[in-house]
Each structure stands twice: as C-alpha cells, then as structure tokens.
Chains A and B, each alone.
Chain A
Amino acid sequence: MTAAARALAVATLLLSACGGAVPTFLRATASLAVATSGGYRALRAYDADKQAGIQKRAKAGDPSGAEAELNDYAPKKAVALKVLDAASVGAEGAYAAVPVVGQALDAKKRAELAAWVPVLVKLGVDVVQALSVFGIKVPGLGGGP
C-alpha cells in the first residue's frame, strides 16, 4: 500500500469515527472532487510547460526531435487524463448515491454507501499514481502542498 493509499484509508477511518455515515460519505466525495480538480489544474500547468518546451525545440531547428518527444509524451498525457476523468465520473456517481434529506437510510442504502468508500479511495490513489509519472503531486493527496 502506497503512502497516499494509507493516508486516504486513515483519513476515511478517522472521518468514520467522527461523524455519521452520510456526512462521512459527503466528506469523502467532496475530498475526491477537490483532489481531482487539483489534478486537472496541475496537469494543465505541466502540459503548458511541456508543450512550450517541445515548440521551442522545434523552432530551434530540431522538429524531428520535438515530434519524437511529443509522440512519447502524448499517450502518457492521455492516460493521466483518462484517470482524472474516471475519478471525476466516480465523484459524480458517489454524489448521486447520497440519499436525499429525509430518505430512509436502510441497511441496503448503508451497504451501497459503504461499497462506494473503497472505490473513492482507489480513484484517489489512481490519480496520485497517474500524475506522479510527471512528478506532479496532487494538493491534499500524496504529500502535495
């Protein structure tokens, strides 16, 4: 288990001990959404620098080298973006699972919410791992600022 996974698991346990099932679930969902937003912003910033470097290389007289660099980077970027998209879809799905105020929280619903928690944790860990390929640390996850 990575440090990020451990941190998320501990945070989830602490949150579970501090409040009820629905508030805990809402906090976990909001945390993933915030971390995913941070991941998107960080990837955009990284990409802007990377593409600027590639364009500079091409203009400096090495377009073939720049093209090779771009062709190496593009699939890695696509993978990171896909992981972020999966996390955002997961956060939206989790939010949709939150019972409306007044809705009975029966055993079935509680089990549904409980099943979401490891999914949210995994998505958060996936985001951290996908962005670490570029040396990006996600704020709030994996030791980012």
Chain B
Amino acid sequence: MEIIKIALDALGGVVAQWINGSAEERAELEKRTVEAVQVMRGERKLTHEALAATEAESRRVIEEEKTKLGNKP
C-alpha cells in the first residue's frame, strides 16, 4: 500500500508539473509574455500617434497645394 501511495504522489506531481509547467519554464515564459505585451502597448501608442500625424500632414499639404492652384491667375 505504501508503494502505491508513493507512486500516486509521484504521478500527481508529474501531472501538476505538466499542467503548470516547471517553475523555471513558467517564470521564463511569464517574463517573455510580459515583455511582449509591454512592447505591443508601446507600438500601439506609437502607431496611433504616427498615423494621425501623417494623415494631418497630408491633408495640410493638399490644402496648401489647392490654395496655390486657386491663387494662380
């Protein structure tokens, strides 16, 4: 009975490790995921700002050129 109990405990440990991953693997993956999410947040902010700026500049240039053409005799 004792051997069966030890075997079941060991099996339980293996199953728990399979589900959760080893502590080192889990820590490394958490670190990589946090970094990936942080980079993504930065890219999101940067992209919104950049795209708004380029569109505003294009519209400004278009208006300027339209005005120039309109002012030509």
Q: State the majority secondary structure of interface residues on A.
A: helix
Q: Which of A41, A66, A77 contacts B43 (CB 8 A)?
A: A41
- Chain B contact-residue range equals 35 or more
Name B's A-contacting residues (CB within 8 A).
17-21, 23, 25-27, 29-30, 32-34, 36-37, 39-41, 43-44, 46-48, 50-51, 54-55, 57-59, 61-66, 69
Interface of B is mostly: helix
Residues of B within 8 A of A77 (CB): 51, 55
The reply to whether B69 and A61 form a contact with Cβ atoms under 8 Å apart is yes
Chain B residues near A41: list those with CB within 8 A.
Answer: 43, 47
Q: Is the CB of A55 within 8 A of B29?
A: no
B32, B62, B65, B69: the one contacting A70 at CB < 8 Å is B62
Query: Known interface pairs A23-B29, A26-B29. Does A40 touch B40 (Cβ–Cβ under 8 Å)?
Result: yes
